[in-house]
Chain A
Amino acid sequence: MTIFYTYFLSLPFAAAIEPHLPILQVVVPLLCAPICVLLRDAKLSWLWATIVTWITFFIALVLLGKVLASGLIIYELGSWPAPWGIEYRIDAANALVLVIVTAIAAITLPYAKVSVEKEVARPRIYLFYLMYMLCMTGLLGITTTADAFNLFVFLEISSLSSYVLISLGGNRRALTASYRYLIMGTLGATFYIIGVGMMYMMTGSLNMADLATLLPAVDHTRTVLAAFAFVVIGLGLKLAMFPLHTWLPNAYAFAPSAVTVFLASTATKVAIYALLRLVFTVFGGTDLFASTDISLMLIIVALIGMFAGAFVAIFQTDVKRMLAYSSVSQVGYMVLGIGMATAAGLTGGIVHLFNHAVMKGAAFMAVGAMFYVIGSVRLNDLAGIGKRMPVTTAVFLVAGLSLIGTPLTVGFISKWQLVQASLALGWWYVAAGILLSSLLAIVYVWRVVEVAYLKAPPEGAARRSEAPLSMLVPMIVLAAATVWFGIDGDTTLRIAGEAANALMGPASGGKP
Chain B
Amino acid sequence: MQGLVDIFKPLYDLWLSFEAFMVGPASPGLLGYWIVIALMMTGFYIVIAHDNLVKKIVGLNVFQVSVFLFYILMAKVTGGTAPILAEGITQYSNPLPHVLILTAIVVGVATTALGLALVVRIRNAYDTIEDDEILAVEEEEDR
Contact = CB atoms under 8 A, between A and B. Distances in A.
B107 A153 contact: yes
B116 to A, nearest CB: 10
Contacts of A183: 47, 56, 60, 115
A190 B64 contact: yes
Interface string A156-194: 100010011001000011011011001100110110011
Contacts of A190: 63-64, 67
A203 to B, nearest CB: 12
A200 interface: yes
Main secondary structure on chain B at its contact with chain A? helix
Contacts of A152: 104
Contacts of B111: 156, 160, 182, 186
Interface stretch (B7-15, B78-86, B119-127): B119-127
B125 A175 contact: yes
Interface string A73-109: 0000000000000000000000000000000000000
Interface string A7-26: 00000000000000000000
A4 interface: no
B58 to A, nearest CB: 12
Interface in A189-234: 189-190, 193-194, 197, 200-201
A182 B138 contact: no
Given A149-B100, A172-B125, A193-B67, A160 B110 contact: yes
A202 to B, nearest CB: 10
Contact of B122 (A163, A179, A189): A179
A178 B141 CA distance: 18
B74 A179 contact: no
Give the interface residue-count category, chain B: 20 to 34
A167 B63 CA distance: 24
Interface centre among A160, A167, A183 (most CB of B within 10 A): A183
A459 B92 CA distance: 79
A153 B99 CA distance: 13
A458 B100 CA distance: 59
A175 B126 CA distance: 10
Nearest to A180: B131
Interface in B4-51: 44, 47
A178 B53 CA distance: 12
Main secondary structure on chain A at its contact with chain B? helix
B118 A167 contact: yes
A186 B111 CA distance: 8
Given A187-B60, A197-B70, A179 B110 contact: no
A178 B115 CA distance: 9
Contact of B118 (A175, A189, A193, A197): A175
Contacts of A149: 100, 103
B118 A182 contact: yes
Contacts of A193: 67, 104
A163 B113 CA distance: 12
B72 to A, nearest CB: 10
A156 B122 CA distance: 22
B77 interface: no
A156 B118 contact: no
8 contacts: A153-B107, A173-B138, A175-B118, A182-B118, A183-B60, A186-B115, A197-B67, A197-B74
Given A149-B100, A163-B114, A176-B134, 15 more contacts: A149-B103, A153-B107, A160-B107, A172-B122, A172-B125, A173-B138, A176-B126, A176-B138, A178-B118, A179-B53, A183-B115, A190-B67, A194-B70, A197-B67, A197-B70
